Amino acid sequence: MQRKAYAVLAALMFGSTLAALYLSWTALGRQFDTYAYDFFFRLEPPAAWTPDSIILAIDEETLTKYGGLTGMRTALADGLEIIESARPAAIAVDLILPDASPSDGPLEAAFNNTPALILSCDLLPNGSGWEDPIARFRRHAVAVGEVHADLDKFDAISRDLPLEKVAGHDRRWALALDTFAAVKHVRITESPDDLLVGSTRIPSSDAGGRIMRIRYAPIAIPRTSIAELDRHPELAKGFAGKVVFAGVTAQTVSDRWMTPYSNSVAMPGIEFHANAYETIARRMFLVDAPLTGIALVCFALAAATGFAFFLGNGWQTNVAAAMIIAVSQTIPALEFAHGTVWPWMPGTLTALLATAVAAAWRHLLVRRQLLVSENEKTRYQRSMQFAIHELRTPLTAIQGSSELISRYGGMPEAKRKEMADLINAESKRLARMIETFLSVEKLSAGEMEMKRERFGLAGVVGRCAERAKPLADAKDIAVDLETLPSVEITGDRELMEYAVYNLLTNAIKYSPGGTRVRVFGEDDRNVVRLSVQDQGIGMDKKEVRRIFEKFYRTKRAEQTGEAGTGIGLSIVEQIIQQHGGTIDVESEPGKGSRFTLVMKRT
């Protein structure tokens, strides 16, 4: 039963892992993972650094100064002109500029003076192609990068960026990537697993859509507005050697996106591109943990949980389970610190589910064991009452006879002797019964001392048959002693005799009159067999399985009216086991039974 229960536990742990993995990959599970990602993101920010990028901002003040949106191009032209002398490394412009306007001349002139200019394009609203800057601007640009925002479809938080995007048949790189390539003066090359820009390898697989997680800088990217520059041209120094991201930051105009850091203040799109650039330039890539690794860890967590419950059910198990849950929480945190995004859900769910399931399993197992022992207890009590009742019979006979002797002084001598013999016989029977009860307790407690002597099996059988003869004669049952091997075995002769005598008297007790009981043996090189076969009431398979339990009697046996306590066979089994042997029982209701002792030759 125990082994089966443990197999069930193992299967439950396996099932818990599969269920946890499945649930983690549902939309809801992934959402929880995303929140956990944001949590770790805030928990373990990278050390602050001086950004390579700077934002040239078209803010509210600038828009007011230049007369609103229509003045944006003039503002940009002015801003670029002011910072030109500081010689920035590159300028990325996050304005689409798809149409001509009267104020394009100064902007084109400013673009012309910019050595590394990267312009932007966006997806057409129907997604069929790209909305590009007009040719007049475009020819001054070293690249045109796309700035389409891909936000999380559940919470619209911007966590990652596709480094490439295809519209129609036209593939474009992200603005930040194009800018990085322009700064390095290299081309972007690709492999199935990553993109290569000079010596910078960006892990972003083709199959995964070339997604790159953005490691937002813990501090804001420096920002100077064009209006500020107009007022304080000396601020242009701050642009020296920097990668400039020029775009709108005015709340009224720009798209603003939430990031894992945002509380309620959204980040302007231009800062998002600058952050993507910083992620690439600093090589702060966050890669996904391999699926097989995650699955293996989950199976290991469930196996550990199962093992903790397999070993015990005390507080140690609870502590172990709590530690396993703690480990499931630590892995994602540690991995995140090393740049690997280890999803939080699979391990957490596995550890929790496995613990809950194993605890339920333990609870049911303990309850079942309790039930079994309760049953055993009531059966034991019932049998005890029965056994006490059995003891009363000889006691009553002794009491009655002794009373008669003392009351009738003039009792004839013959009668007196008969009574005394009866008292003697009944008190012997009583002593034997008490002896039996005590020995069963001693045997099961392992307190019975076993002698080690050599004796012949045939001798033991002969003596038993002799003792059982009166019983057999009374029922007109013939006991046939057939061929018995003349071997000697080592053990306790007295106990062995008790065992054989029990089998023999059972065969006689549970057989109708006029039948035969055969006793035969066999010497089979390594083992010696001794069988007692009757033509009695027999038993079905279910009964056979229980007859070695203490106090168990079959209904059929009880109906025969034969006295019995149901403990004889439990003693026999213990005796044989202590002699290193076993008992085989073959039986069929109404046909008879065969009990075979199988002893090792010693």
| Interface contacts to ligand ADP, rule CB under 6 A | 502, 506-507, 510, 534, 536-539, 547, 553-554, 557, 564-570, 593
Give the Cα separation of 113 and 84 in Å (integer): 8
Residue type, 600: K
Question: In this complex, which beta carbon is closest to ligand ADP, that of residue 237 or of residue 382?
Answer: 382
For residue 335, the Cα-to-chain-centroid distance in whole angstroms is 21
Question: In this complex, which beta carbon is closest to ligand ADP, that of residue 93 or of residue 507?
Answer: 507
Give the Cα separation of 196 and 280 in Å (integer): 11
Angle at 557 between CA 555 and CA 560, to 5 degrees: 110
How far is residue 236 from each of residues 54, 64, 116, 226, measured CA to CA in Å? 11, 21, 17, 10
Question: In this complex, which beta carbon is closest to ligand ADP, that of residue 201 or of residue 379?
Answer: 379
Question: In this complex, which beta carbon is closest to ligand ADP, that of residue 418 or of residue 482?
Answer: 482
| Secondary structure (DSSP) of 147-166 | ------TTT-B--EEESEEE
- Nearest residue to ligand ADP by CB is 564
Question: In this complex, which beta carbon is closest to ligand ADP, that of residue 78 or of residue 534?
Answer: 534
Question: In this complex, which beta carbon is closest to ligand ADP, that of residue 16 or of residue 502?
Answer: 502
Give the Cα separation of 386 and 553 in Å (integer): 12
CB of 533 to ligand ADP, least distance (A): 9
Cα-only R_g, the chain: 47
Give the Cα separation of 490 and 456 in Å (integer): 9
Give the Cα separation of 55 and 93 in Å (integer): 10
Give the Cα separation of 592 and 589 in Å (integer): 7
CB of 504 to ligand ADP, least distance (A): 9
CB of 555 to ligand ADP, least distance (A): 8
CB of 522 to ligand ADP, least distance (A): 20
CB of 544 to ligand ADP, least distance (A): 9
Question: In this complex, which beta carbon is closest to ligand ADP, that of residue 409 or of residue 470?
Answer: 470
Q: Tokens 């168990």 sit at which residue?
A: 552
Phi-psi region of 473 (alpha: psi -120 to 50; beta: other; left: phi over 0): alpha
CB of 1 to ligand ADP, least distance (A): 22
**Residue among 41, 214, 144 nearest 204 (CA):** 214
Residue 195 φ then ψ, to 5°: -110, 145
Question: In this complex, which beta carbon is closest to ligand ADP, that of residue 174 or of residue 448?
Answer: 448
Question: In this complex, which beta carbon is closest to ligand ADP, that of residue 158 or of residue 505?
Answer: 505
Instruction: Classify residue 307 by burial, with Cβ atoms within 10 Å: 0-12, 13-18, 19+.
Output: middle
Question: In this complex, which beta carbon is closest to ligand ADP, that of residue 170 or of residue 540?
Answer: 540
Q: Is 475 helix (H, G, I), strand (E, B) or coil?
A: coil
CB of 542 to ligand ADP, least distance (A): 12
Instruction: Classify residue 446 by burial, with Cβ atoms within 10 Å: 0-12, 13-18, 19+.
Output: exposed
For residue 47, the Cα-to-chain-centroid distance in whole angstroms is 37
CB of 310 to ligand ADP, least distance (A): 35
CB of 9 to ligand ADP, least distance (A): 35
Give the Cα separation of 309 and 412 in Å (integer): 76
Q: Tokens 């012309």 sit at which residue?
A: 112
CB of 515 to ligand ADP, least distance (A): 11
Q: What would the two tokens of residue 350 be?
A: 């596995």
CB of 585 to ligand ADP, least distance (A): 8
CB of 576 to ligand ADP, least distance (A): 13
Question: In this complex, which beta carbon is closest to ligand ADP, that of residue 215 or of residue 553?
Answer: 553
Question: In this complex, which beta carbon is closest to ligand ADP, that of residue 417 or of residue 545?
Answer: 545
Question: In this complex, which beta carbon is closest to ligand ADP, that of residue 39 or of residue 552?
Answer: 552
Give the Cα separation of 251 and 270 in Å (integer): 12
CB of 539 to ligand ADP, least distance (A): 5
Give the list of residues 6+ apart from residue 359 with CB closer than 8 angstroms, or none. 309, 321
- Helix ranges (H only) for 267-343 are 269-281, 291-311, 315-337
